[in-house]
Amino acid sequence: MASAVMPTYARAPVTFVKGEGCRLFDSDGRRYLDFGAGIAVCGLGHAHPKLVEVLTDQAKKLWHTSNLYQVEGQEKVAAKLAALSFGDVVFFGNSGAEANECAIKLARRYHAAAGRPERWRILAFEGSFHGRTLATLGPVQNLSHI
């Protein structure tokens, strides 16, 4: 039977059914070291008891609201991240594609505000993956003359 999932990846013939810390387990019981971490979004590991407890407590209160509203936990995390970094504000996105789009827009806005709107080019490694938005899928220009 063909999969109903759009073939946007060259998927490996393995189905993970459980995770513990940095380990994954497939449907045949084989154990793997999770080097992918959900494409870098599960850096905290799988099924850590404290994380499961905190997430369960939150799920009992409120699952999700839009960024159109203030979210107490989000405000706390943003303040902590800003205090520990070079930034004054934090952007929360739902995906790496959103993060990359935000980075592109911020870089362009920075140069436009500094009076250098001609500085719009973004350098990227050829053949690398930066998301599935039009901006991040765009061709890498040959900048060898610079």
Q: Under DSSP, is residue 106 helix (H, G, I), strand (E, B) or coil? A: helix
Report which residue type is found at 57: D
Residue 122's nearest CA partner among 137, 90, 89, 98 is: 137
Q: What mean pLDDT, rounded, does the chain reach?
A: 86
Residues with Cβ within 8 Å of residue 120, at least 6 apart in sequence: 108, 111
Query: Which residues lie across from 20 on neighbouring strands?
Result: 23
Q: Mind listing the pLDDT tens digit for each residue in 24-68?
A: 999 999 999 998 887 777 778 899 999 999 999 999 998 888 888
Terminal Cα-to-Cα distance of the chain (whole angstroms): 51
pTM passes above 0.75: no
The pLDDT, as a whole number, for residue 143 is: 40
Q: Structural domain boundaries of the chain?
A: 9-46, 68-140
